[in-house]
Amino acid sequence: MLKESFLGYLSLERNYSSKTVRSYGIDLTQFESYFRGVDQDLDYTDIDADLIRGWVISLMDEGYTATSVNRKLSSLRSFYHFLLRKQLVSVDPMAKINGPKKKKPLPVFVKEADMNCLLDDTDFGKGFESVRDRTVLEVFYTTGIRLSELIGLDDADVDFSARVIKVTGKRNKQRLVPFGDELEADMQAYLSERNENCPRVCPAFFVRKDGERLYPQLVYRIVKRNLSKVVTLKKKSPHVLRHSFATSMLNHQAELEAVKELLGHESLTTTQVYTHTTFEELKKVYEQAHPRA
């Protein structure tokens, strides 16, 4: 009766859809099957946190993902909040229950060989937009800056004498990112094309033909169109090039703290995800190369 009363409340008082109510009912029935299997005499009002934790473990053992388990726990949490309001239970057994953490997917990145192929061997054509598009890709891959940071770059932020770019990141935090000979030459070539072919209507470093600053959708299109020439990745975004920068740096023995500073991360934990990426690459190389892998 408790379950039916709760489902009726969801339907009549909360106006939940029949599909949603059915999902709640399935979750509660599944939980009931579990605790009846532990003790046939148990009821919903007898449940404690340990029993719920046991259910979570059994679900994970059965192959449910963290997302699915957390959704089921959400159903249970709502149910016990309802019972508390109705004073049908005095203690909420969900109060100390934490669901399983979702496994974060590893960052998608472009391999060095593919980036070299794109930047060194691909014909981008001639003219202002072709030179600009290639320079945009190279800046992303060589500096690891974010999309918003590239769009926000002004001429005054690029110091060719010191070979550094002043980047304004999240919460207006600024950092300096160095660049080398090759990028300097390519940015100078871009500026030559830009200054010859575009009106100067704003201080932006990267502009459109009309001299206005780039906008996010255009940069996405530039990156996606050109990455499609060398990779079949599902994701082809500016952030993939940021991931590629970080992965390449770590693959070439850069210190984690240095990569953190270059990326503008607040915490080293954020940067450490790239160490998992490089380790996964090492595993693939090992499995492909070692005869007894």
Residue 106: the pLDDT is: 76
Number of domains in the chain: 2
Q: Which of 72, 77, 134, 242 is catalytic?
A: 242
Question: Is-catalytic flag, 239?
Answer: yes
pTM for this one? 0.67
Question: Is-catalytic flag, 265?
Answer: yes
Residue 56 shares a structural domain with residue 130: no
Residue 284: the pLDDT is: 67
Secondary structure class of 43 (helix, strand, coil): coil
Residue 45 shares a structural domain with residue 81: yes
Residue 63 shares a structural domain with residue 203: no
Strands of the sheet with 174-178, listed across from one edge = 158-159, 164-168, 174-178
**Domain for residue 102, yes or no?**
no
Q: How far is CA 212 from the centre of its chain?
A: 29
Report the CATH number at residue 275. 1.10.443.10
Residue 153 shares a structural domain with residue 264: yes
Domain boundary among 66, 85, 104: 85
Answer yes or no: are the C-beta atoms of 257 and 171 closer than 8 Å: no
Residue 132 shares a structural domain with residue 275: yes
Question: Is-catalytic flag, 170?
Answer: yes
Residue 134 shares a structural domain with residue 81: no
Q: How far apart are CA 102 and CA 137, in angstroms?
A: 32
Answer yes or no: are the C-beta atoms of 119 and 289 closer than 8 Å: no
Amino acid at 2: L
Q: Which residues contact 145 (CB under 8 A, 6 or more apart)?
A: 139, 165, 167, 177, 242
Q: Is the pLDDT of residue 293 over 60?
A: no
Residue 255 shares a structural domain with residue 152: yes
User: What domain range is 62 assigned to?
Assistant: 2-85
**Confidence category of residue 179, pLDDT binned at 50, 70, 90:** very high
Question: Is-catalytic flag, 252?
Answer: no
**Domain for residue 93, yes or no?**
no
Answer yes or no: are the C-beta atoms of 124 and 134 closer than 8 Å: yes
Question: Is-catalytic flag, 274?
Answer: yes
The per-residue pLDDT for range 18-51, each reduced to its tens digit, is: 999 999 999 999 999 999 999 999 999 999 999 9
Domain boundary among 85, 104, 121: 85
Q: Which of 72, 132, 134, 146 is catalytic?
A: 146
Beta bridge mates, 213: 207
Q: Which of 170, 173, 200, 284 is catalytic?
A: 170
The stretch 192-197 carries a mean pLDDT of 96
Q: How far apart are CA 148 and CA 265, in angstroms?
A: 15
The stretch 231-244 carries a mean pLDDT of 94
**Domain for residue 256, yes or no?**
yes
Residue 148 shares a structural domain with residue 283: yes
